[in-house]
Structure 1
Amino acid sequence: MSDTTNDADAIDRIVADWERERPDLDPSSIGVLGRLMRLANQVRAVESSYFDENGLTLASFDVLANLRRSGPPHRKTAGELATSSMLTTGGITFRLDRMEEQNLIERVRTREDRRVVYAQLTAHGKAVIDEAFGKHLDNQRQMLNGLTESELDQLAALLKKAEASVVAFDAKATDAAGQAS
């Protein structure tokens, strides 16, 4: 049963409404997944305003962070970036064009195979991501300031387990859909 006390939030009210309207169903998953979606949207909004102030987008920050954490020489192909980020290869190419105009990355070809093109951090790009990432972590810590270290560890473990559960469900659903066709 959901919490209908004065501490109830919008999600609690949604769950309570469904419990009242469809007592034959268990809407408790909304308490988890609904909050995760709302939380993700709120975090994205906070981060977007911060990135806007610093001349970045979430996508450009993701690419810069991806290159920076890869270690020297801080470069990857568009395909490697797409695999290890939240963007498609087409999205990466568009983003890299803009980032190259901003002198955040440069495109580099290897001597071994001139067909292979890497996106590589420029000195300016490295300075931008180093400053932005430090501020990004500070913002994240402040957003989670209401939780203790123990709660943060527990939440991270539970979210990891929840993600594995969703991935396993998705794999089963995909397999079932493939077998049905």
Structure 2
Amino acid sequence: MTLGERDDEVDLLIDAWSRRLPDVDLTPLDVMSRLRRAAGRLARLRSAAFRSAGLEAWEFDVLAALRREEPPHELSPAQLVSATMIGSAAMTNRIDKLVARELVDRRPHPRDGRAVLVRLRAEGIERADAAMTTLAWREAEELGALSRADQATLARLLRPLARHPG
């Protein structure tokens, strides 16, 4: 592909760095720079979808973890920590805020008097469902430039990268 046929920012970035560092293989930038740009777009799209349901991203994460559970949609704080991959102190703070907003309730654990369960309230269900519905619609719209087959191929190709988060 000649420079005249290349027109996106990543191609121009790679061309510029190739002139400065001719001995460095910049091929990974072709993928990773585009993934970074796509991730930025996705973050903005997700934030907008959550805002449309009156939620912050962290609120959606907790509510979604509960919503994915079978009724009565409840988990222990430790299970929520595991599901959302945040620390215990942060989860306690998040649960407190969600209780104050009346999106979840705390209730005593029926088998362990020292423990509690966090249960999704009707308002939490409505907001989580609204956010997920909007998110799915907006993500489908974003992916509209790709055929279903290309979307499946892209998901398959990204799967190994997503398995190694750090």
**TM-score, with length taken from structure 2:** 0.90
1:52 maps to 51
User: What amino acid sits opposite 1:47 in the alignment?
Assistant: R
Q: Is 1:33 the equivalent of 2:61?
A: no
2:118 maps to 119
The CA deviation string for residues 49-108 of structure 1, in whole angstroms up to 9 with x for no partner, is: 232232101111111111111212211122211212243222222221111111111111
The 1:99–1:16 alpha-carbon spacing in structure 2 relative to 1, beyond 3 Å, is same
User: What amino acid sits opposite 1:42 in the alignment?
Assistant: R
Identity %: 29
Displacement of 1:161 in angstroms is: 2.2
List alignment gaps of at least 5 residues for structure 2: none
List alignment gaps of at least 5 residues for structure 1: 171-181
**TM-score, with length taken from structure 1:** 0.83
Runs of 4+ in 1 over 2 A off after TM superposition: 2-8, 86-91, 161-164
The 1:53–1:87 alpha-carbon spacing in structure 2 relative to 1, beyond 3 Å, is same
Whole-Å Cα distance in 2 between the matches of residues 150 and 77 of structure 1?
39
Whole-Å Cα distance in 2 between the matches of residues 63 and 3 of structure 1?
48
Whole-Å Cα distance in 2 between the matches of residues 126 and 159 of structure 1?
30
Structure 1 vs Structure 2 CA RMSD: 1.9
Whose RCO is larger (CA < 8 A, sep 6+)? 2
2:142 maps to 143
Report if aligned partners of 2:109, 2:116 keep a CA contact under 8 Å in 1: yes
Report if aligned partners of 2:66, 2:75 keep a CA contact under 8 Å in 1: yes
Report if aligned partners of 1:59, 1:87 keep a CA contact under 8 Å in 2: no
User: What amino acid sits opposite 1:79 in the alignment?
Assistant: A
How is 1:16-165 mapped onto 2 (pairs within 5 angstroms)?
16-164=15-163
Whole-Å Cα distance in 2 between the matches of residues 86 and 149 of structure 1?
31
The 1:152–1:108 alpha-carbon spacing in structure 2 relative to 1, beyond 3 Å, is same
How is 1:6-17 mapped onto 2 (pairs within 5 angstroms)?
6-17=5-16
User: What amino acid sits opposite 2:20 in the alignment?
Assistant: E
The CA deviation string for residues 10-49 of structure 1, in whole angstroms up to 9 with x for no partner, is: 2111111111111111111112112112211111112212
Report if aligned partners of 1:3, 1:12 keep a CA contact under 8 Å in 2: no
Displacement of 1:3 in angstroms is: 6.4
Whole-Å Cα distance in 2 between the matches of residues 3 and 35 of structure 1?
19
